[in-house]
Amino acid sequence: MQIMLIAILFIILIAFTIYKINNKFETKEFMILIAILVLGSSLVYYLFENQEQKVPQIFKTKYEKVYNAKIEKFSYERLNNKMVSSKTNFIYNFDYIVVKNNEEYICSSKNVKVKKIEDEFIFENFEKLEEKCTKQ
């Protein structure tokens, strides 16, 4: 709700600025406003999407390094987006297909806790990873 209110106020501020500069608000000014909004929202979307995919990729590389297994397919779900929004603490569920000893396993790790310290992500319970695997 707060984000929507800020976005609406930002749109009003841009429209008012364009009106004050040109003393009118016609089709040309409306197109400028739309262009600014589209570019701004696509930039914000790109930044959030890039940040969201960073933690799962770190998990994937760390898992492959520690467990000496190749992850073939990988999906994830961020849980604390649904409950509490946090910039430093994250909780994920990971589902993946792993090849161990030339056999494929479908594995899932639930409630993997990740803590962000400055620009580094640390897995709190990686050593005690609750991993459930079934042979495919």
pLDDT in tens, 73-108: 999 988 866 555 667 788 889 999 998 888 899 999
| Residue 125 main-chain phi, psi, to 5 deg | -115, 35
pLDDT number for residue 70: 87
Contact 77, 93 (CB under 8 A): yes
Residues 90, 63: Cα–Cα separation, whole Å: 17
Distances (CA, A) of 73 to 33, 65, 84, 96: 42, 16, 28, 5
Confidence band for 52, pLDDT divided at 50, 70 and 90: low
pTM: 0.62
DSSP-based three-state secondary structure for 102: coil
Contact 86, 108 (CB under 8 A): no
Tokens coding 54: 């960073």
pLDDT number for residue 107: 92
pLDDT in tens, 53-79: 688 888 888 888 888 888 999 999 888
- For residue 133, what are the β-bridge partners? 107
Tokens coding 64: 């492959």
Q: How many CB atoms are located within 10 Å of the residue 84 CB?
A: 9
The DSSP code sequence of 48-59 is HHHHHHHHHHHH
